[in-house]
Structure 1
Amino acid sequence: MDVLPLCWVSDHTGFSGTIKNSASDFVVTEINTRGQLVSDIGADSGQDSDDIESEQEKPPPTQKKRLKEPEKALETFSGLPIFDKSKNANVALGKINQTADSNLPESAANSPSVQTQGDVLDLLLGSSLSENLEKFAFSVKEGKDAEQEGTEDTARLLLGTFEDKSQRAAIHLAVRQKFPFLKTVTSCGEIEVRLDPQYSELCQLVSEEEANGFFGFLDAKDRRSKFTFQPSRNKEHRKAIHHFVSKYFGRLVETKSFLEQDGSSERAAVITVRFRDKITSGRKRTANDCQTVPATYTAFTLCKVNMETLEAIACLASELDVVVSDFSYAGIKDKKAITSQSMVVKNVTINKLKAKQLSIQRKGLKVYNLRRATKHLRVGQLKGNHFSIIIRNVSKHQEDDPDSRLTSRVLEAIENVKEKGFVNYYGPQRFGLGQNVQADQIGLALLKGKLVEAVHLVFTAEDGDDPVNQAKRHFIQTEDAKGTLALMPEYKTRERMMLRALNRYGNNQEGCARAWLSLPHSMRVLYVHSYCSKVWNRAASFRLRTYDLKVVEGDLVACDNLEWDPLNQENAQVHVVTAEDLKSNIYSINQVVLPMPGNSVQYPCNKLALWYQETLARDGLQGCKFRIPALQLNIPGCYRRLLAQPRQLVFRWLEDKEMPFAQEGCVFATDDSKQPQEMRDSLSVSFSLNSSCYATICLREIMKCNV
């Protein structure tokens, strides 16, 4: 219980009970930034979500291109049309069926496309230089076929100096189209042609047709298209292709393997390549940015039952044929519960999502309130959550006064928490209490840069012999990622994503970094936040034991005490309480905040400052920058209120049908001659909390016991 130390705000006695006997006992509904329950968005807006988009799907907007792009420049200088890129969009370029005659030099030379490319080069270079280029290409090709070593040939051909940038761009494109194995380099306006070593290296792995198709895919720069290599049953062969693409083009494209559904025991896998999403930043826009087609975003409400958020996203991704990273959400919801939350998916239209609603429902999920969105959700983009909870087996604590009434204990507890709030601890689901390895231990290993150790912690088995623990034990004992992947159940999405990466890249430091990068950013950072949350919980208990519920000099308080948002703190400011502030008595304990460790937070100026310093040093983080470049993680830290306050806190006894909701100071009309324990044993409680506040912690304060 180190991460959940015991400190209370109120001194009432409380009562005993159990929660989460079933998923229906714990209902969570997200509250969006406008204060609406996400389950009521369609009704509240007065607009039927089915009518938001017309039945006929709108065609994608026309892609605008500048005149001086290579394709336009080629048309401008040659007067001839170039190849049609659209015919290759969203098709498997590696699966081109070649006719028997297509490999004959005569057929190739007489084909219209080659003739057109030859005409273009004649116009751009002149017939004499164009002939020299063709002879050079033939000699280089012959030498490449003879050696097959994938190294750069020393032969070079100078095409001359071209002052016009558009003309140079046209020449680059025309040469690549006709001779994919050549590359052109410009130096001070002079164009030089040489053998492309990357093309030669790829030809050691795949056929020339596939290599031509891959480089044609890159040259086309159509971000909506995909390229697929021919199926392969050889894992090492596929791994080599993955490494080649990642090594030379990893910043531009990404690769994924998919098993073919052919029904055989040893199924082949195909490697699909697609362009990476562009990341917007503060840099100046380039011409390529202006060409990007706006992405499609669809928002919806997801209802899930007894399922982890990431598992639900994996199911949706499979149904909609997109990747897990195309989904975004405002927060992770409980597993053993019925939860409703907003989500946004990229590259999926409303009509496509409508068409999949029934198949998604068969997987135990419900998507509704479909509507257009303009961008992804970010973690923390919500007002809070509303909880409807059933507490069963309600009774008095064993050490309680036998003459006391259960109904009095319940009413006293509810009223105290409604008035005074509770210590704003991070809840047990933040850490995975009861497990051999908790999330904060993994986060600490990541902060120390021990990526291999962190992977082993993820795969440390719990007590028991279920399939998940069997798979984890197999990995720890053998480090066989492929064998473990075969044993790991499908619903363990997080573990399977990491195992696939380990199988592809190995179990060393680099392979483990790839395994962590295979998880969505919000999932990677959650482990580090778990450690920082543990530090915050212990800091809160130290603060309360040292200074109690009073404001002291050196405390931090939120400057904007009414609208201060703990999860949107780019411009958040805190104030250090001074002696003059104490004399004026202008701050209350409800305004006190504590920092969660990071590289952009200010620490209190009292005994807590030394406590934070000693705690981080004891965990081996003295001088920690709270950045993990290998995992693309930056931890700025944040401020969190010491106390939290529930809103709209109401309750009722379930067994007494005539008993009304008790709220706003109402009391029960009970018959004192009957024992309350015999009358009722299940209690329904509902309330709303701000984002990042935990219902289990609120219930713990109400009941004065761990739930």
Structure 2
Amino acid sequence: MSRPLWSAPCLARLGGTTGCAGFCLAAGEGRRAMLPSFSYVTEHVGFCGTVKKSPSDFVVTEIEVPQHLPKDTRANSLHRSSEAVLEQSSLCLQQPKKPRTQPPGRPADGCSGAGVPSPERYPSRAGSKCAASPSETYRAGDAELQSGLEEASVFDSLLGKPKSELLHKFACELKDMWDSGSTDPSTGEFSLGPVLDKKNRADLHSAVRQKFPFLVTVTKDNEMIVKGNADYRELCQLVTEKEASDFFKFLDAKVENSMFSFEPDGNKEHRKVVHHFINRRFGRLLETKSFTVTDVNDQPSVSITVRFRERSWPRKRSDGGFQKNQDLYTAFTLQKENLETLEAIGFLATELGVLPSDFSYTGIKDKKAITYQPMVVKKVAPERLKEIGSKMEKKGMRIHNIHSAFQHLRLGQLKGNHFDIVVRDLKHHCHDSSADLKERISEAMENVETKGFVNYYGPQRFGQGQNVQTDQIGMALLNEKMVKAVKLFFTPEDADDPVNNAKRYFLQTEDAKGALMMLPEFKVREKMLLRALNRYGVNHEGCTKGWLSIPHSMRIFYVHAYCSKIWNEAASYRLKVYGSKVVEGDLVLEESAEDISLTDKVHVVTASEESDNKYSINQVVLPMVGHSIKYPSNKVGQWYHERLSKDELQMCKFRVSSLQLNIPGCYRPILKNVQNLSYFLEGSDKEIETEDNCLNESKISLHVSFDLDPSCYATVCLREIMKCDF
């Protein structure tokens, strides 16, 4: 049975996981159906199956751009790096296992290279598992170099790319010289040139020393000089290179009340040498003590702990002095299971004693999934993040790849997402008489790989299955109906649990203080709102101040959900009216770009360009509503005006000054392509061939893997493949 291009789907059972188009509903029917009358690109029949039967069936890993790689080699490297992280995807949070690969960005533990003390010299040195040969020197240092190179954009912004590349070359050559056995650790200097701005100099000093702790920086008449750190090399003769590297990062960060501990060391004579080295070189700044600890074999041992002397903290800090906690950033990879991103951040913020706004990330990840995403938290030291690891595992989270950073995470650092998905209980659609399910799957994969899919926002953008979805709150905020937005926000689900009971109580009584006492601590947003409502009242002014009390990123999240809903409806209307033909008045991008924003050149298609078929449907974009975008000059543009008027919104109203919200808008392609698509079936051919009734249960599972660009949804891609909604 063939389907017409741009056909409307049958709606799936709206349980959230099973896709089987067994019946059709007209647009608008059902419980806020996510994709009513939305379009398909491809003509294949598709098939049914269950998605997200368990979180391990849906694994998402963010793909970061390695800035140091040549452009033509990045794609393969990105895919390999995502596969390396995904080797951890089989980890069960309740039964931790050792990952098969070290998370990227940090050197592996164990034998480190040239800095590992010889076992013959210090035989009882805990943590020293083997001695390195000269040819193996500085392997951990290579990992540090790799991490530094991945942060090349930091140096690019401060030095410019050519100078940044020369700095990295100097660092590599210096290490090669040390590896070759050079006896002069100070040989060679590199000039970063004159840096007149004092703050830029301070940033450069810190950036160089944090990324390359084996280097030191000095300033001569505003000229910055980089050279080898003799103290670093001397310490590497006593401890592992990882310890030396972490020690100098600790020393450079100068975080008040922080401490650093070396690995457990059972050799008293060796500990004495380390004590003497630190006291000799840094005695005015640091003090050392030995403490009894448990080593890697659960045996009592002794570890040297270092801290800053109290008198080393001046009452008034200069710009070049100790770094304030507020300037401290720690990067990490968050693995979460069956948790919303904002909920996970709430747990972390509560445990660390910081605000949710102190976390930066590049996207909201699925709840019913195992997801891996980079994050950066402000005002938290790496050691503190490591301390809470066991507590977070009980909440369904793990924290990997903890290391120092210099700034918040930026959107441009996200290349996309890698997905590993299992679709279970495969079967035909009820209307499909074909007996060959395997052929249906092969046809679907080939079509989507060559033709792509409609770039809809997925159901998780809107709070799938909730009584009130996020776009409704966003529309109320845009209309400045603050009390209505608060009541929508506190609308409970049907469940009987502390969170929903607190919401139910608040709506019935408007007793913000009582509801606040009922809520669990991790519900950070709800508690922030309730505190403000308790103070200012549940009226327009009080609710406005309540919304202002939560972070800007959370406020604007709801408004963006509304804009996304309008875009989804606009895309369906555009495809229904004009299909795949590019017509006069459409908007296209004249130049390809990875990130679509207002800076891209958006062109309005002319009548002659339409007749010449100058553009393809893959170049057509639609605007995300806002105050600074242009709309199509055909029927689609008129549709936008009518649709916004229906919600009592005008073009100029995408600024809500009372909430400090400014929504300029942007552009989004109608179609998107999938990359690196692969799949295999798990089950016998016999089961596939005899599966001809959509009511029968199937033991066949589809394992599919692919990459998508940022802001693309795997559930939407699967919808195109299977011809089902979820």
TM-score (norm 2): 0.61
Q: Of the candidates 581, 595, 605, which is equivalent to residue 565 of structure 1? A: 595
Offset of residue 48 of structure 1: 0.9
Q: Of the candidates 589, 612, 616, which is equivalent to residue 640 of structure 2? A: 612
Give the whole-Å Cα distance in 2 for the aligned partners of 1:404 and 1:614.
47
Correspondence for 2:556? 525
* Cα 1:679/1:488, change in 2 over 3 Å: closer
> Does the CA contact (< 8 Å) of 1:499 and 1:515 recur in 2?
yes
| Residue deviations 1:276-313 (CA, integer Å, cap 9, x gap) | xxxxxxxxxxx999998581211111101111112211
Residue range with higher mean Cα deviation, 37-46 or 438-447: 37-46
Correspondence for 1:15? 47
Q: Of the candidates 565, 585, 592, which is equivalent to residue 534 of structure 1? A: 565
Q: Of the candidates 536, 540, 544, which is equivalent to residue 509 of structure 1? A: 540
Give the whole-Å Cα distance in 2 for the aligned partners of 1:510 and 1:605.
40
Correspondence for 1:187? none
Correspondence for 2:704? 685
Offset of residue 318 of structure 1: 2.9
SS at structure 2 position matched to 1:315: helix
Give the whole-Å Cα distance in 2 for the aligned partners of 1:605 and 1:291.
57
Offset of residue 498 of structure 1: 1.9
Correspondence for 2:210? none
SS at structure 1 position matched to 2:567: helix
Correspondence for 1:425? 456
1:54 aligns with 2:246: yes
* Cα 1:465/1:44, change in 2 over 3 Å: closer
Give the whole-Å Cα distance in 2 for the aligned partners of 1:422 and 1:673.
28
Correspondence for 1:494? 525
Offset of residue 473 of structure 1: 1.6
Give the whole-Å Cα distance in 2 for the aligned partners of 1:49 and 1:502.
49
Amino acid at match of 1:358: S
Correspondence for 2:356? 324
> Does the CA contact (< 8 Å) of 1:485 and 1:500 recur in 2?
yes
Give the whole-Å Cα distance in 1 for the aligned partners of 2:48 and 2:399.
37
Q: Of the candidates 650, 654, 658, which is equivalent to residue 682 of structure 2? A: 654
SS at structure 2 position matched to 1:58: helix
SS at structure 1 position matched to 2:399: strand
SS at structure 2 position matched to 1:486: helix
Give the whole-Å Cα distance in 2 for the aligned partners of 1:671 and 1:367.
41
* Cα 1:471/1:696, change in 2 over 3 Å: same
> Does the CA contact (< 8 Å) of 1:26 and 1:388 recur in 2?
yes
* Cα 1:541/1:486, change in 2 over 3 Å: same
1:344 aligns with 2:376: yes
Q: Of the candidates 34, 48, 56, which is equivalent to residue 24 of structure 1? A: 56
Give the whole-Å Cα distance in 1 for the aligned partners of 2:643 and 2:319.
49
Offset of residue 635 of structure 1: 0.6
1:602 aligns with 2:610: no
Offset of residue 21 of structure 1: 1.3
SS at structure 1 position matched to 2:667: strand
Correspondence for 2:97? none
Offset of residue 625 of structure 1: 2.8
* Cα 1:414/1:311, change in 2 over 3 Å: same
| Residue deviations 1:387-446 (CA, integer Å, cap 9, x gap) | 111111111111111x43111111111111111111111111111233222111110110
Give the whole-Å Cα distance in 2 for the aligned partners of 1:705 and 1:26.
17
* Cα 1:518/1:380, change in 2 over 3 Å: farther
Correspondence for 2:70? none
Give the whole-Å Cα distance in 2 for the aligned partners of 1:447 and 1:393.
43
Give the whole-Å Cα distance in 2 for the aligned partners of 1:375 and 1:38.
23
Give the whole-Å Cα distance in 2 for the aligned partners of 1:671 and 1:464.
39
Correspondence for 2:613? 585
Give the whole-Å Cα distance in 1 for the aligned partners of 2:390 and 2:83.
19
SS at structure 1 position matched to 2:546: helix
Correspondence for 1:702? 721
> Does the CA contact (< 8 Å) of 1:38 and 1:301 recur in 2?
no
> Does the CA contact (< 8 Å) of 1:651 and 1:683 recur in 2?
yes
SS at structure 2 position matched to 1:653: strand
> Does the CA contact (< 8 Å) of 2:435 and 2:691 recur in 1?
no
Amino acid at match of 1:29: T
Offset of residue 486 of structure 1: 2.4
Offset of residue 612 of structure 1: 0.8
Give the whole-Å Cα distance in 1 for the aligned partners of 2:689 and 2:426.
19
| Residue deviations 1:255-283 (CA, integer Å, cap 9, x gap) | xxxxxxxxxxxxxxxxxxxxxxxxxxxxx
* Cα 1:361/1:460, change in 2 over 3 Å: closer
Amino acid at match of 1:303: Q
Correspondence for 1:306? 338
| Residue deviations 1:435-475 (CA, integer Å, cap 9, x gap) | 22211111011001111110001111233434333222211
> Does the CA contact (< 8 Å) of 2:598 and 2:629 recur in 1?
no
* Cα 1:597/1:671, change in 2 over 3 Å: closer
Give the whole-Å Cα distance in 2 for the aligned partners of 1:670 and 1:579.
55
> Does the CA contact (< 8 Å) of 2:624 and 2:665 recur in 1?
yes
Give the whole-Å Cα distance in 1 for the aligned partners of 2:360 and 2:517.
28
Aligned length: 475
> Does the CA contact (< 8 Å) of 2:105 and 2:401 recur in 1?
no
1:360 aligns with 2:392: yes
Offset of residue 43 of structure 1: 5.6
* Cα 1:672/1:547, change in 2 over 3 Å: closer
> Does the CA contact (< 8 Å) of 2:106 and 2:401 recur in 1?
no
> Does the CA contact (< 8 Å) of 1:38 and 1:341 recur in 2?
no
Give the whole-Å Cα distance in 2 for the aligned partners of 1:679 and 1:457.
41
Residue range with higher mean Cα deviation, 520-529 or 288-297: 288-297
> Does the CA contact (< 8 Å) of 1:38 and 1:342 recur in 2?
no
Give the whole-Å Cα distance in 1 for the aligned partners of 2:105 and 2:315.
42
* Cα 1:477/1:546, change in 2 over 3 Å: same
Give the whole-Å Cα distance in 2 for the aligned partners of 1:545 and 1:299.
45
Correspondence for 2:418? 386
Offset of residue 362 of structure 1: 4.0
Offset of residue 479 of structure 1: 0.5
Alignment of 1:621-636 (within 5 A): 621-636=649-664
SS at structure 2 position matched to 1:519: coil
> Does the CA contact (< 8 Å) of 2:536 and 2:542 recur in 1?
yes
> Does the CA contact (< 8 Å) of 1:595 and 1:639 recur in 2?
yes
* Cα 1:292/1:373, change in 2 over 3 Å: closer
> Does the CA contact (< 8 Å) of 1:467 and 1:487 recur in 2?
yes
Offset of residue 511 of structure 1: 2.3
| Residue deviations 1:554-605 (CA, integer Å, cap 9, x gap) | 11111222x3312xx2522211112232344331111110001011111111
Give the whole-Å Cα distance in 2 for the aligned partners of 1:410 and 1:304.
30
SS at structure 2 position matched to 1:18: strand
Residue range with higher mean Cα deviation, 290-299 or 14-23: 290-299
Residue range with higher mean Cα deviation, 482-491 or 325-334: 482-491
* Cα 1:431/1:684, change in 2 over 3 Å: same
* Cα 1:584/1:629, change in 2 over 3 Å: same
Residue range with higher mean Cα deviation, 510-519 or 630-639: 510-519
> Does the CA contact (< 8 Å) of 1:653 and 1:680 recur in 2?
no
SS at structure 1 position matched to 2:246: coil
TM-score (norm 1): 0.62
Unaligned runs of 5+ in 1: 64-85, 91-219, 224-286, 657-668
RMSD between aligned residues: 3.1
| Residue deviations 1:475-532 (CA, integer Å, cap 9, x gap) | 1110011111222344433323322332233222232223222322222111001111
Amino acid at match of 1:498: L
SS at structure 1 position matched to 2:508: helix
Give the whole-Å Cα distance in 2 for the aligned partners of 1:341 and 1:398.
38
Residue range with higher mean Cα deviation, 291-300 or 569-578: 291-300
